[in-house]
């Protein structure tokens, strides 16, 4: 199955000016079946998603399957988050939810009869394109050692992995489905957003989970060290690096989840040199 990951990327204007339709047409994904919305990394982006009505209308014309991705929330935002989740699940034809922490996995399994996926933040294996010994090795995701525990307690359907090394070993004792994100691997993330502090007074900058104006929709950064052939991208709260598709051993990938960052930036005419 081929999926398009719109998490942390789109806002309401992308429906109003038909950017989403153009993005789907140029993303070079054959047989696209599913869209991912929400966020893996930013609670504030998730809480401010303002395109639910527009997406509902869009899906009536173009009936893709839909996955809702839920980030990790701190206690201050938890009530608002649960209200937002409930609203989205009632308004949109979501048939599965990707969660990124055990607390939300447990809560949703109790409150809703819906298929659940283990998101990228469950898999904390070391990854760093700058350390070639990490990228060149064969990696067996450490969390696979606990997969059976999740199956016993929760309705887990799929595990979502990043392309953290050239070879990934999927050996495990369950029938869990596996999704692979591409063409980016996330390197690191956190609760403090650099971009959210752009217009904030100095003594209030860099606060964890601070409210923002979705500055991430207007700016990103590229790091290209002179001595290396890799690039790092700061998109929202998260640092990513682009990779090639890894070799898979002792298993297979059931779905790919494509992050169309380059394609969206070209459409928005923000002058990204890719």
Contacts of the segment 201-210: beta carbons below 8 A, 24+ positions apart: 208/74, 209/43, 209/44, 209/74, 209/76, 209/77, 210/44
* Helices and strands of the chain, counted as H and E runs: 9, 15
CATH number for the segment(s) 2-185+242-265:
3.20.20
pLDDT average, residue stretch 210-239: 82
Q: How far apart are CA 132 and CA 183, in angstroms?
A: 18
The pLDDT of residue 146: 84
Q: How far apart are CA 87 and CA 64, in angstroms?
A: 19
Confidence of residue 271 (pLDDT cuts 50, 70, 90): very low
The pLDDT of residue 273: 39
Structure tokens at 229: 């052939």
pLDDT in tens, 169-222: 999 888 899 999 999 999 999 877 777 666 666 666 667 677 777 777 888 899
**What predicted TM-score, i.e. pTM, was given to this entire model?**
0.91
| Share above pLDDT 70 across residues of the chain, in percent, rounded to a whole number | 91
The pLDDT of residue 147: 83
């Amino acid at each position: 199955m081929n999926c398009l990951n719109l998490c942390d990327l789109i806002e309401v204007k992308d429906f109003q000016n038909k950017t989403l339709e153009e993005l789907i047409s140029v993303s070079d994904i054959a047989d696209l079946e599913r869209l991912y919305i929400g966020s893996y990394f930013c609670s504030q982006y998730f809480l401010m998603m303002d395109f639910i009505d527009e997406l509902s209308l869009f899906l009536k014309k173009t009936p893709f399957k839909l996955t809702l991705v839920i980030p990790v929330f701190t206690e201050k935002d938890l009530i608002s988050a649960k209200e937002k989740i409930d609203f989205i699940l009632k308004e949109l034809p979501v048939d599965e939810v990707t969660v990124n922490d055990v607390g939300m996995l447990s809560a949703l399994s109790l409150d809703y009869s819906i298929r659940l996926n283990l998101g990228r933040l469950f898999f904390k294996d070391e990854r760093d394109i700058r350390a070639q010994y990490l990228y060149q090795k064969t990696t067996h995701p450490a969390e696979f050692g606990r997969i059976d525990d999740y199956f016993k307690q929760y309705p887990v359907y799929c595990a979502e992995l990043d392309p953290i090394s050239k070879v990934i070993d999927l050996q495990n004792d369950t029938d869990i489905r596996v999704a692979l994100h591409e063409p980016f691997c996330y390197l690191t993330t956190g609760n403090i957003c650099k971009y959210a502090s752009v217009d904030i007074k100095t003594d209030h900058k860099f606060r964890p989970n601070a409210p923002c104006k979705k500055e991430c929709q207007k700016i990103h950064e590229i790091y290209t060290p002179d001595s290396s052939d890799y690039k790092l991208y700061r998109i929202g709260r998260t640092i990513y690096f682009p990779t090639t598709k890894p070799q898979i051993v002792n298993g297979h990938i059931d779905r790919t989840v494509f992050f169309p960052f380059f394609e969206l930036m070209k459409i928005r005419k923000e002058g990204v040199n890719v």
